[in-house]
Structure 1
Amino acid sequence: MTKMIKKISTNLWFNIEAEEVANFYVSIFKNSNIEKVTRYGKERHELEGLSQGDVMTVEFQLEGQSFVALNGGPLYKFTEAISFIVNCDSQEEIDYFWDRLSEGGEKKAQVCGWLKDRYGVSWQIVPTILNDLITGDSSKSERVMKVLLQMKKINIEQLVRAYNEE
């Protein structure tokens, strides 16, 4: 009854909110689910705020990507050096993910489609068209970059106008 283990999974270290985080992310992304919850037993590291029976890890998937959320105590924090990119096909999708993931997050971390959610995790909410707009013709890509660098949440229409010199 052994489940196939994926070769690579992303492990996210939280203080004590792993289950809350996993449920939050699963509520935002379609095709997502909680797969397994493990709890701390009698044999464990002594961690501030965590006891026998408390959640240790939550395995979950978001759009086919595997994640593990670990309650490991307050020792480590996230930085912007690691972020998750959400590729969006429309402005409606950008607005949807931006609004949900940024709610309760750090406002000063919002720049060029990047945001930090309420748990300190960094996300990039970007349109799939962005790569086409910033590669190729250098004068067009420079205009797009000039507009992009002034944005918090990305606005596709403004980027396309800059690309087309409107």
Structure 2
Amino acid sequence: MAKLQRVVPCLWFDTEAEEAATFYTSIFDNARIVRVTRFAEAGQEIHGRPAGSVMAVVFTLDGQEFMALNGGPQFKFTEAVSFQVFCETQEEIDYYWSRLTADGGQEGPCGWLKDRFGLSWQVVPRAMEEEWLVDPDPARVQRVLEVLYTMEGKLEIEPLRRAYYGE
């Protein structure tokens, strides 16, 4: 038996856990569905789900393990929790942005989006988190932020890079 990852984000869905896991694993490299567990007759008075229907799906995205749980309609995703996707190139940003907003996803400002399940994502250049926003020169950081805050949707690397270098 494989060793369990110590910390695993659990994503609460109404009934779409398997659909969401399939969607996410189709987007990311090094991704797969690890296992699907199903409701049993035990606990019917609590969960009310038909025996044999999907209870939870464990999946990995680029080696990170997640669980998708069919917990019912009580809880919804909010922007209070989001996943960041760090990208090296504009092509990567374009790829993840278009895939994650597909089929009913919503674009948000400054590189934020919601996928069709309502889960929030930030698709950002890796350089922004590793260099541009942590530079000891406050003028460089200020220039990047000024450009960042004008971006209504998907981030564009080149204007951010030019701002960082003062071009």
The TM tier, using the shorter chain, reads over 0.9
| 110-119 or 13-22, which deviates more | 110-119
SS of equivalent to 1:136 = coil
Which whole-Å CA distance do the structure 1 matches of 2:86 and 2:39 have between them? 36
Match in the other structure for 1:115: 113
Runs of 4+ in 1 over 3 A off after TM superposition: 45-48
Which whole-Å CA distance do the structure 1 matches of 2:2 and 2:89 have between them? 36
Give the deviation of 1:16 after TM superposition.
0.1
Match in the other structure for 2:160: 159
Match in the other structure for 2:59: 60
Correspondence 1:80 to 2:79? yes
Correspondence 1:125 to 2:133? no
Which whole-Å CA distance do the structure 2 matches of 1:16 and 1:23 have between them? 13
Structure 2: runs of 5 or more not aligned:
none
Structure 1: runs of 5 or more not aligned:
none
Give the deviation of 1:44 after TM superposition.
2.3
SS of equivalent to 2:117 = coil
Give the deviation of 1:164 after TM superposition.
2.4
Which whole-Å CA distance do the structure 1 matches of 2:9 and 2:165 have between them? 39
Give the deviation of 1:127 after TM superposition.
0.6
Which whole-Å CA distance do the structure 2 matches of 1:163 and 1:85 have between them? 21
1:10-66 deviation digits (Å, cap 9, x = unpaired): 100000000000000000001000010011110125446x31111000010000100
TM-score, length-scaled by structure 2 = 0.92
Match in the other structure for 2:148: 148
- The CA RMSD measured in Å over matched residues stands at 1.3
Matched pairs, number: 162
Which whole-Å CA distance do the structure 1 matches of 2:140 and 2:7 have between them? 38
Match in the other structure for 1:100: 99
Q: Percent identity?
A: 49
TM-score, length-scaled by structure 1 = 0.92
